[in-house]
Amino acid sequence: MDWGMKNRLGRVIKGGRTVMLAIDHGYFLGPISKLEDPGKAVGPLIPFADALMPTRGVLRNCIDPEADIPIVLRVSGGNSIIGKDLSRESITTSIEEAIRLNVSAVAFSIYVGAESEHQTLMAFSELVNQAERYGIPTLAVTAVGKELEKRDARFLGLSCRIAAELGARFVKTYYCDNFEKVVEGTPVPLVIAGGPKLETDLDVLQVVSDAIKKGAAGVDMGRNVWQNEHPVAMIKAIRAIVHENVDAAEAHKLFLGEA
């Protein structure tokens, strides 16, 4: 791996682990609850995140350019939650724009098994070709659209493997039963999304802990952090699991102490 590629990836995944903060939801969901004002929502969380995942619009308008935080730029879109086909995403942001914005990586959603499977896999491959030219790592997001029930080891294992085969330098997926099978079949680091807000704080911490124990490199979570009543306490507790190997019960105590 070239120095530039290693350096950018190493800024996001530090010592093999990462706590990424996803704030890209507006690109197809609009101003969802607690992310109406992205700058306000993430400002207090930035000191505890290893990387931020916004779109270029939110990065430019809501994130302080002096903030010392690596950016994993969401560069796919073209769909909306009320549109006909949620899987129909293309590259929205050129590689020159990503370089101009000084990003550490670019992110793209692939929709395996969906109507636009071929289109998203080919667009992702094109993004890999462009990004590799400049030593920029690509993050593939194994999207499931509205079909959350798809999140099992067979489907996610297939999606993650395809993403890695196409050249993803790291992959974002969901935690699931038999997650170790997904890890085993994916020869690049995996980070997990959180999905819609879970019922309890302990549930969130348990998922993170289980994912780390089974081989995830970390998290790229959004709603379960900034929709929490105590987002700073939550990201700190998640950090303790990811970077200090604290278990879920211990992290929960830390959360309660901070909340």
Using the contact rule CB under 6 A, the part of the chain among 36-44, 64-72, 117-125, 187-195 near ligand R5P is 187-195
Alpha-carbon span 196 to 191, nearest angstrom? 16
Torsion of CA 62, 127, 222, 211, to 10 degrees: -150
Exactly one of 8, 11, 25, 169 binds ligand R5P (CB under 6 A); that residue is: 25
DSSP 3-state of 252 = helix
Long-range contacts at 53-61 (CB < 8 A, ≥ 24 apart)? 53/20, 53/21, 53/22, 53/23, 53/24, 53/107, 53/220, 54/23, 54/24, 55/24, 55/26, 55/27, 55/92, 55/93, 56/93, 56/97, 56/101, 58/23, 58/24, 58/26, 59/101, 60/101
Which of 237, 233, 234 is closest to 250 using CA atoms? Answer: 237
- For strands 76-77 and 90-91, give the pairing: antiparallel
Q: Out of 40, 172, 197, 214, which one is annotated catalytic?
A: 172
172 classed as catalytic:
yes
Q: Is 141 a residue that touches ligand R5P (CB under 6 A)?
A: yes
Q: Is 22 a residue that touches ligand R5P (CB under 6 A)?
A: yes
Torsion of CA 174, 227, 235, 37, to 10 degrees: 110
Judged by CB, which is closer to ligand R5P: 153, or 207? 207
Q: DSSP state, 197?
A: P
Q: Is 221 a residue that touches ligand R5P (CB under 6 A)?
A: yes
| Element containing residue 22 per DSSP (H, E) | strand 18-22
Judged by CB, which is closer to ligand R5P: 93, or 224? 224
Judged by CB, which is closer to ligand R5P: 1, or 219? 219
Exactly one of 9, 59, 193, 204 binds ligand R5P (CB under 6 A); that residue is: 193
Judged by CB, which is closer to ligand R5P: 38, or 194? 194
How near is the Cβ of 219 to ligand R5P at its closest, in Å? 8
Q: Is 195 a residue that touches ligand R5P (CB under 6 A)?
A: yes
Alpha-carbon span 38 to 35, nearest angstrom? 5
Q: Is 169 a residue that touches ligand R5P (CB under 6 A)?
A: no
Using the contact rule CB under 6 A, the part of the chain among 18-26, 60-68, 85-93, 240-248 near ligand R5P is 18-26
Judged by CB, which is closer to ligand R5P: 66, or 196? 196
Q: Is 53 a residue that touches ligand R5P (CB under 6 A)?
A: yes
How near is the Cβ of 222 to ligand R5P at its closest, in Å? 3
Report the catalytic residues.
Answer: 172
**Binding positions for ligand R5P, rule: CB under 6 A:** 22, 24-25, 53, 141, 193-195, 220-224
